[in-house]
Homo-oligomer: A and B are copies of this chain.
Amino acid sequence: MLNYATPLDLVFHALADPTRRAMLERLSNGPASVSELAGPLAMSLPAVVQHLQVLEASGLVRSEKAGRVRTCRIEPAALGSVERWIAERQSNWDRRLDRLGDHLAGHEEESD
């Protein structure tokens, strides 16, 4: 039942690599060609293309080829599930942080 990758698995897996996060950061500023993405990265073009494939499989990025240039862009819709998951956890975590804050504040008063 848990042995296949869900969309959320693929998105978090895609985000778990610093090169892929750097590519997303670049693309969050606007579309870029594969060469433009590869420019600042200290790796071969085939390695960049492999990372791009992981990003495309996750749905975070899509690319289109026009003539000889493949243009990559962020796919905003794919972020919905991860944003929702994080927002839900954050609201729980924030409540826990608030309680931790209250707890620590209580300890501070005790030690005053």
Interface residues of A (CB under 8 A from B): 1-2, 6, 8-10, 12-13, 15-19, 21, 24-25, 28-30, 42, 74, 76, 79, 83, 85-86, 89-90, 92-93, 96-97, 100
Describe A's contact surface by its main secondary structure: helix
The answer on a CB contact under 8 Å between B17 and A89 is no
The answer on a CB contact under 8 Å between A12 and B9 is no
Report the minimum CB–CB distance from A99 to chain B (whole Å).
Answer: 10
- Give this chain's copy count: 2
The answer on a CB contact under 8 Å between A15 and B12 is yes
Report the minimum CB–CB distance from A28 to chain B (whole Å).
Answer: 4
Q: With the chains together, A30 CA to B1 CA distance in Å?
A: 26
